[in-house]
Every structure is written in C-alpha cells, then in structure tokens.
Structure 1
Amino acid sequence: MTEHTLMGKNLLVAGGAKNLGGLIARQAAEAGANVAIHYNSEPSRADAEATLAAVQHAGGTGVVLQGDLTVPANVARLFADAEAALGTIDVAVNTVGKVLRKPIVETTEDEYDEMFDVNAKAAYFFLREAGTRLADGGRIITIVTSLLGAFTDGYSTYAGGKSPVEHFTRAAAKEFAGRGISVTAVAPGPMDTPFFYGQETPERVEFHKSQAMGGRLTRIEDIAPIVRFLATEGWWITGQTIFANGGYTTR
C-alpha cells in the first residue's frame, strides 16, 4: 500500500460478520475496498451474509469464509481462500475474541485452554499468515482489550489471553518492517455489544459506564474509524497498543 486509502484495496476481517467486525467490513467497502468476511460457526452465518450484502451494495467485491481460527491450518486456509476470491490481501484485521468473567478458583482447565486458544493462539497464527501473505506495505490490526491496563477481578483468562498479543504485535512489527508492513493492536474499553452484557450484572454495567466520558460504554462506532485510520493515514504507527476507551483506564 503506497497510497493511504482503502480504495481498491483487499481487506480480510476475521470475526467480520457482526458487531465491530461487521462495521469495519461495511465501512471499508464504503471507502472503496473489497472485503473477505470471516465468521466462526453456523450461528453467525446469517450475519455474515447480511454484511456481505452491505459490502456488495456499497460497490465492493465480497466473500464469506468460515473457519475455527484456533486451528492454524484453518487460518492458513482462510488467507488462501481470501486471496483466491479477492487477490493479494492488503489489510488484515482480527476482531476475534472470547470474553469470560469468572474467579480464578472456579475456572476449569478447559475454560483456560479455550480462552487462550481463542484470544492468543488464533491471534498468533493470524499474524503469522498475514506476515507471510500480505502485500508489501500492508497493515495488520488486532483488537485486544483495555483490561490490559486495568487492575480488577474476574477477567484473568480474558485479559490474560489478550495480553500476549501485545508482545506478538511488537515482534511482528519488527519482523515485518522490512516489507513496510505496520502491525498494531487496538484496545477498546468495555463495548456496548452482547458479548459484554452476558458477563456483567446491571450494577457493574453502570460502574463501567461511569468510568468513561459521557457516562457510557465504548461503542463500535468509536473503534471502527481508528481501525480505518491505522489502515490508511495512520500507517506510521506500528508495534503499538492503542487504548481507545474514553478515559476508562490507562497505564
């Protein structure tokens, strides 16, 4: 990517069916991009198809691709299938994640393994494939969490599972710099999506709201433009974690 625009570029959005990933895919298409929309499993298929329709309505070429990204072979296949449909990928965005709020003493080994597989392992091999396959001058952006800067209870496996992505991002930024590929992570505050409400009590929701500007949660509309900026004019930012949370927390 020599020019700082999404016009005519090819994007791959992991977790692109709905919520933040869906908005990123739609806005990219509105900016002139073609988009490969990944979803994990059958319950998300209808959302992925709706996002595809929006991409096509905006004038972009789109494709819907399914896969469990905790399996590295599936990540490789995802990139290969995206390339086959669109051509060389210019921007790879990974919004995949799983939230669990549970005390350490109640967390099972299976829960631990699943949380680290989804939040860390999938992210690692997404970076690996992107670093192998992206066009020179490409952009890689991973969604993490502002809990990386919080001192709180309950989210040991979520924040813990996302925290390695910061180290993966820094290493990848150095390793891919010779090809002009920037690598960044974006850390939203608690987001106003179904993933958040399923883990919290109404009282805790109100507390989270009280910690940010305007007394509200982070919205997907707050984050998607930051991803777009990092993929275009913000390309010189690399190896960083951008906390975007309305003042919810910092380090």
Structure 2
Amino acid sequence: MEQKYLINCDHVSKAFETPEGVFQVIEDLNIKVRENEFLVLFGPGQCGKSTILNTIAGFEPVTGGEITVNGEKVTKPGPERGVVFQTTALFPWLKVMGNVEYGPRMRGVPKKERRARAQHYIELVGLQGFENSYPIKLSGGMKQRVGIARAYCNEPLVMLMDEPFGHLDAQTRYLMQEELTRIRQLEKRTVIFVTNNIEEAVYLADRILVLRNCPTSVKAEYEIDLPRPRSYTDPEFLRLRREIDSVVDHTL
C-alpha cells in the first residue's frame, strides 16, 4: 500500500529582514511526514526548529518553496493544525473549561457539543475536577495539560508542539513525556514535536530529524524502532543517544 504523507515541506526557505540585512533561517528544507507519525525535530538552540514549526502552522510565510498539509497549501493558520506552545499561552481570565473549549467556541460549535468534547479531553489529560480552576491556580505541568487538551479539542489532523516541556522541572518533564505517550495511544494524531533535549527526542519519536545550525536543513534522519514504553537506561536507547549526539552541531 502506498505510504500517505500528510505534511510535505518542499524546498522550503525562510529569511527575515533585519537592520543588518537578510538573515536566512531555513534553506532548501525537505520534510515529508507520514499520517499518525510522531516526528521530532531535534537540534541545538536557535537553529531554526521553532521557525519551521511556525511556517507549518501558518504563523510565518515561507520565502521559498511550499508547505502542504493534507494536500492543501499552507498560507495561514487553520483548525486542522493544533499548536502547543513552549509557554502555555492560556487565557488567564478563562477557567480550564473555557480555555479547552475556546477553539470550538470560536468556530461556532454549539455549547452542548463543545462542552462534551472539552470534558472528554480534560479527562483524557487527567484534569477532571479542575474544570472551574483558573490557570493561576495550576502548576506548570497542569497548565501544559490544559494546552494539550485545548489543542486536541479542535480535533486537528496535526499537532505541532514547540518544546512544550522545556520550562518544566526535570521530574515534571519526565512525567509529561509519559503522559504524552499515553495520550497518543488513545488519540492518534500526526505530531511534529520540537526539542533540544536528546533523551526526550529518543523517548518520544517514531522518527528524528537532526537539523543543522542556521540556515537550517536536515542533517541526519533516524527511525526509532524501540518498543514502548521506553526506558532511558535501555542499552539500545543509550546507543542511539550517543550516535545522534555525535552528529549534532553543538556550536552556533
């Protein structure tokens, strides 16, 4: 059976105008993402990972090439692409329920339907009982759970996750990696996940793309065929970690 690619970045480039001149962030980037694949974009800080995600999300226009999602050219944001940000970006004036149901509410989904959908995803991320809590009352990990539930509530084809656990303490980060693995087993989605944490990349990914420093493009690719749940101390996990680390551009 022919492999279906849901996302296609075809010779994509992105440059920004700065006072010092043109700054090329992405150059001739080619990525194909399979349906229901968990793809990790891995590379050093400031190499262009978030810019790639922003172009796929439609937040930033490309300056060369083309991006398509489900066969449609990306020209602006759309509900078929859910985004989970590094900073939680929750609305502080809305309770958990209000944040999670926000997308369907803006799209005119009837209240009864969107509330039922939001409740489903609140329970999926383990926040039942916190529906009426404001974000200020939540821990960092709980806020990211709300962000994940909010993205899922729009029922997108694609989840774009920009270092969502980067600001969490180590213990909470490990817990959220386990939770994301659990959630994904229950709610299949195509996911592009950005991280500069090599253990996180190997723990979560079906496939890892190692990116070059700016201007970025794909330097190496790894299929991660380890059984789940994965162990950080598994010999093959450690071997992959060392191998991937050896090809990363460590200096900017």
TM-score (norm 2): 0.36
Structure 1 or 2, whichever has the larger Rg, is 2
Between Structure 1 and Structure 2, the one with more helix by share is 1
TM-score (norm 1): 0.36
